[in-house]
Amino acid sequence: MKFYIAARFDNKEKVWEIYEKLKEKGHEIHSDWTVHQPFYPYISDPELCAKYSEEDVNGAMNCDVFVLLADEHHNGQHEQKAKSHGRGMFIELGTAMSSFLLRGSPRIFVIGPDNDKAIFHFHNSVTRFDTIEEVLENLEL
């Protein structure tokens, strides 16, 4: 199956760990935003913003399984962290939800300790778990 993992940019190490677990099980990463160059303010490179946002929307919309890593937000000292707050991952979640409602795909999971902190985590298209292992077990059923 093709997976898209959404998370805050500063959580990319956790995302890499999830990628490894998925690859071990024979799954593929549909679109990897962790290779994007970090920059802020976004207006400093509108063309790169457009490219990245198109890749991420297509990844969230066209994967088989969408996973949002929901964990406690810690305000970082770096301006990018303080300004962005992981807003993009919620756009990606909305994109996946819209795709599910229109086409029945992707399957959507929200994992992590804060999987109950947003109203949209309770939408009927979303399944909440604590770990990626629980997602994989659910997909095997």
Contact between 68 and 7 under an 8 Å Cβ cutoff? The reply is yes
Q: Which domains are seen in the chain, by residue range?
A: 2-140 (3.40.50.450)
- How much is the pLDDT for 81? 45
Q: Give the residue among 116, 73, 121, 71 at the shortest CA–CA distance from 93.
A: 121
- How much is the pLDDT for 104? 97
Q: How far lies 8's CA from each of 50, 61, 72, 139, in Å? A: 18, 18, 10, 24
- Please tell me whether residue 101 adopts helix, strand or coil conformation: helix
- How much is the pLDDT for 73? 61
- How much is the pLDDT for 133? 96
Task: Label the pairing between strands 65-69 and 107-111.
Answer: parallel
Identify the DSSP state of 22: H
- How much is the pLDDT for 71? 85
Q: Which amino acid is at 28?
A: E
Q: Which amino acid is at 14?
A: K
- How much is the pLDDT for 80? 45
- How much is the pLDDT for 85? 60
Contact between 63 and 2 under an 8 Å Cβ cutoff? The reply is yes
Q: What is the mean pLDDT of each run of 10 residues along the chain (141 residues)?
A: 95 96 96 91 94 96 97 52 68 97 98 94 97 95 69
Whole-prediction pTM value?
Answer: 0.90
- How much is the pLDDT for 77? 41
- How much is the pLDDT for 32? 96
Q: pLDDT tens across 50-80, in order?
A: 999 999 999 999 999 999 999 866 444 444 4
Q: Give the residue among 50, 91, 62 at the shortest CA–CA distance from 4.
A: 62
Tell me which residue has tokens 């300004």. Answer: 83
